[in-house]
């Protein structure tokens, strides 16, 4: 019947299920309800997460000394104690669902006898035919929207920073905080009412004859940008603030032009934050379900929609384990994206303090 209920998918894919609880802590209530998981604990956690209480010392070590390695090792046990609540929480909220997911994805239970056996069937099915198509579709949509939103978000944030207007800054930050959380079904319906088939603007401007179609890949990308760009602004604004004016002055004194400053100072320093922002946006778009479900139903193949179909449908019987396998695929992809980001983040986080 109604496919607008997001709960089934969120329950199964740990990336989503645990996001809301955590997303609020590190990102100061700015992260959207959906899909903040992948970048969690990496980019925004730095400042506020419980473990951060012990990190400031680590920041001074590499800056002042070359032999920081030995010191870090000595502080080990105490760090572990402080981080214990976080570790326990993560283990409970990520580990348990992940274990259940893994178990379901590689086993099969015979309905008659109740016997359980190992099988690779679900995983291989999740990487074939329409399921593979949905994975690729999701990656494509997420990468594209994250890229566009990253670029536009940085430009907007930079404009706000250089304007030095406190009023503008407050306005943009507040608006971004609200809009970044404005996802899901309400957003979809806002767009349907405005530029849907019988939407107000569609009727007034006769958009249909211009080839506009909200219920397509392009339409979905536009809707995603609506909450991804504000998210990028929120993430990148502090990093842009961290670029000290002295660096630019120093560069200018040394005879560098604007482009050279960005090429050799600005962008390298910002790189981890930019990449972190991109990863966050990618995860946000990758895990989004309700918006897409309300907007395009099954006509744009997305992995979250496929999981929902398999878990909660009236048509296909016995697809639960394929849904779990798809969830596992999602985690692997999110993990891969994060793996690119982590080393870079560690390397130059020290510049932005």
Contacting positions for another protein (CB under 8 A): 1-5, 8, 111-112, 129-130, 133-134, 192, 196-198, 208, 213, 215, 296-301, 305, 308-309, 311-320
Supply the minimum distance, in Å, between the C-beta of residue 222 and another protein: 16
Residue positions counted in the chain: 353
Supply the minimum distance, in Å, between the C-beta of residue 23 and another protein: 26
Supply the minimum distance, in Å, between the C-beta of residue 114 and another protein: 9
| 114 versus 343: smaller Cβ distance to another protein | 114
| 7 versus 165: smaller Cβ distance to another protein | 7
Q: What is the 3-state secondary structure (H, E, C) of the chain?
A: CCCCCCHHHHHHCHHHHCHHHHHCCCCCCCCCCCCCHHHCCCCCHHHHCHHHHHHHHHHHHHHHCCCHHHHHHHCHHHHHHHHHHHHHHHHHHHHHHHHHHHHHHHEEECCCCCCEEECCHHHHHHCCHHHHHHHHHHHHHHHHHHHHHHHHHHHHHHHHHHHCCHHHHHHHHHHHHHHHCCCHHHHHHHHHHHHCCCCHHHHHHCHHHHCCCCCCHHHHHHHHHHHHHHHHHHHHHHHHHHCCHHHHHHHHHCCCCHHHHHHHHHHHHHHHHHHHHHHHHHHHHHHCCHHHHHHHCCCCCCHHHHHHHHHCCCCCCCCHHHHHHHHHHHHHHHHHHHHHHHHHHHHHHHHCC
| 64 versus 129: smaller Cβ distance to another protein | 129
| 316 versus 332: smaller Cβ distance to another protein | 316
Tell me the C-alpha distance between 120 and 344, whole Å.
Answer: 35
Contact 16, 287 (CB under 8 A): yes
Supply the minimum distance, in Å, between the C-beta of residue 228 and another protein: 22
Supply the minimum distance, in Å, between the C-beta of residue 191 and another protein: 12
| 77 versus 318: smaller Cβ distance to another protein | 318
Supply the minimum distance, in Å, between the C-beta of residue 169 and another protein: 39
Supply the minimum distance, in Å, between the C-beta of residue 244 and another protein: 49
| 66 versus 198: smaller Cβ distance to another protein | 198
| 208 versus 348: smaller Cβ distance to another protein | 208
| 87 versus 193: smaller Cβ distance to another protein | 193
Supply the minimum distance, in Å, between the C-beta of residue 116 and another protein: 14
């Amino acid at each position: 019947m109604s496919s607008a209920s997001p709960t089934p998918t969120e329950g199964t894919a740990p990336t989503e299920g645990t996001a809301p609880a955590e997303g609020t802590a590190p990102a100061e209530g700015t992260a959207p309800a959906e899909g903040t998981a992948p970048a969690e604990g990496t980019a925004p956690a730095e400042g506020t997460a419980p473990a951060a209480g012990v990190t400031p010392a680590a920041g001074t070590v590499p800056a002042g000394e070359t032999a920081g390695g030995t010191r870090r090792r000595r502080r080990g046990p105490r760090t572990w104690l402080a981080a214990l609540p976080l570790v326990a929480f993560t283990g409970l909220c990520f580990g348990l669902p992940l274990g259940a997911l893994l178990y379901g994805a590689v086993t099969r239970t015979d309905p008659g006898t109740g016997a359980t056996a190992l099988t690779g069937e679900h995983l291989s099915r999740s990487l074939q035919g329409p399921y593979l198509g949905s994975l690729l579709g999701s990656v494509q949509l997420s990468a594209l929207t994250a890229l566009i939103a990253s670029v536009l978000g940085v430009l907007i944030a930079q404009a706000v920073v250089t304007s030095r207007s406190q009023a503008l800054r407050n306005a943009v930050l507040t608006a971004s905080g609200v809009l970044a959380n404005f996802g899901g079904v309400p957003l979809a319906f806002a767009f349907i009412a405005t530029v849907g088939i019988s939407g107000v603007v569609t009727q007034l401007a006769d958009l249909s004859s211009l080839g506009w179609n909200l219920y397509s890949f392009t339409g979905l990308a536009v809707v995603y940008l609506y909450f991804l760009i504000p998210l990028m602004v929120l993430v990148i604004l502090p990093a842009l603030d961290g670029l000290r004016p002295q660096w630019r002055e120093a560069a200018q004194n040394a005879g560098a032009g604007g482009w050279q400053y960005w090429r050799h100072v600005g962008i390298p320093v910002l790189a981890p934050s930019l990449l972190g922002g991109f990863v966050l946006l990618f995860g946000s778009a990758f895990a989004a379900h309700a918006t897409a479900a309300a907007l395009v139903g099954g006509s744009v193949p997305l992995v979250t929609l496929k999981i929902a179909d398999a878990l909660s449908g009236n048509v296909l019987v016995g697809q639960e384990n394929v849904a779990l396998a798809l969830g596992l695929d999602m985690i692997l992809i999110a993990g891969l994206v994060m793996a690119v980001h982590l080393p870079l983040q560690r390397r130059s986080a020290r510049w932005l303090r």
